[in-house]
């Protein structure tokens, strides 16, 4: 199962039945397509947590989802706006691009090295399942020593595509997101077992 080259990426975007094509939109400039990856731009929306109001994020608590929704803060910037990510801070952003993967492609998202060298990292290597459609939530962390000015439209990440055996349908939790989404760890099927006989951890 090999990584798609630049030529294969372009071919999957331009050729074949529409349902089998790779969609990346808006692709503002084809220079975003590199040798084996496509640069992703930062979108306009962010999710922050008001961390001073949370004792702990515990997915085993029955009200975990409502607690997260209560304490998360959504911010939407305008074109030309700026979000300052300070050292040690973490925020959820999203790609400007809407991605649609055919059922025989998977992908993963990583930081761009140019941003990584000043301290901005994608906190985890984000895997994208075959058949996914939507913008990609970016888990952004500043591990550097200076605040970083993040602006919509800036290329902050890259996505790499890999051939895989075709699947019948998309089986992920995040369906057609159009903005960053907070995690759904409280939906993990084995949490109830591991919470213990009382239903609570500890």
Residue 77, classified by CB atoms within 10 Å of its CB into exposed (0-12), middle (13-18) or buried (19+), is middle
- Residues near 8 by beta carbon (within 8 Å), at least 6 away in sequence: none
Contact 112, 148 (CB under 8 A): no
Is position 182 within any domain? Answer: yes
Question: Are the CB atoms for 109 and 125 separated by under 8 Å?
Answer: yes
Pairwise CA distance, residues 64 & 71, whole Å: 11
Is 7 a residue of the active site?
no
Question: DSSP code of 33?
Answer: B
Q: What is the CATH number of the domain that holds 22?
A: 2.70.40.10
Range with top average pLDDT, 48-52, 116-120, 169-173, 192-196: 116-120
Summarised one tens digit per residue, pLDDT across range 168-192 is: 766 555 566 777 876 666 566 676 6
Do 130 and 103 touch, CB atoms closer than 8 A?
yes
Find the catalytic residue in 8, 61, 89, 139: 139
| Domain assignment present for 156 | yes
CA atoms in the 13 A half-sphere facing the CB of 165:
0
Q: Can you tell me the distance from the alpha carbon of 104 to that of 129, in angstroms, rounded to the nearest whole number?
A: 10
Residue 94 lies in a domain: yes
Residue 32 lies in a domain: yes
Quote the DSSP letter at residue 164: -
**pLDDT attached to residue 187:** 64
Percent of the chain with pLDDT over 70: 80
Inform me whether the pLDDT recorded for 198 exceeds 60. Answer: no
Query: Which range of residues forms the domain containing residue 38?
Result: 6-194
- How far is Cα of residue 202 from the mean position of the Cα atoms in its chain? 32
For the chain, the residue count is: 202
Whole-number pLDDT of residue 202:
47
The answer to whether residue 200 is domain-embedded is no
Whether 105 and 162 have beta carbons less than 8 Å apart is answered as yes
Structural domains counted in the chain: 1
Instruction: Give 57-107 pLDDT, tens digit per residue.
Output: 776 776 777 777 777 889 999 999 999 999 999 999 999 999 999 999 999
- Pick from 45-49, 112-116, 124-128: least confident: 124-128
């Amino acid at each position: 199962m090999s990584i798609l080259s630049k030529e294969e990426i372009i071919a999957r975007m331009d050729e074949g039945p529409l349902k089998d094509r790779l969609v990346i939109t808006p692709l503002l400039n084809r220079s975003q397509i590199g040798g084996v990856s496509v640069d992703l731009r930062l979108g306009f929306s962010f999710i922050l947590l008001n961390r001073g109001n949370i004792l702990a994020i515990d997915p085993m608590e029955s009200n975990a989802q409502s607690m997260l929704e209560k304490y998360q803060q959504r911010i939407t910037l305008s074109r030309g706006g700026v979000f300052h990510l300070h050292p040690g801070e973490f925020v959820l952003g999203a790609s400007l691009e809407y991605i649609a993967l055919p059922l025989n492609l998977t992908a993963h998202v990583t930081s761009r090295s140019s941003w990584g060298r000043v301290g901005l990292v994608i906190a985890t290597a984000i895997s994208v399942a075959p058949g996914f459609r939507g913008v990609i939530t970016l888990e952004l962390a500043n591990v550097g020593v200076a605040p970083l000015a993040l602006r919509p439209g800036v290329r902050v990440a890259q996505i790499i595509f890999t051939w895989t055996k075709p699947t019948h349908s998309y089986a992920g939790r995040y369906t057609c997101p159009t903005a960053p989404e907070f995690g759904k760890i409280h939906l993990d099927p084995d949490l109830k077992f591991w919470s213990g006989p009382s239903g609570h951890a500890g």
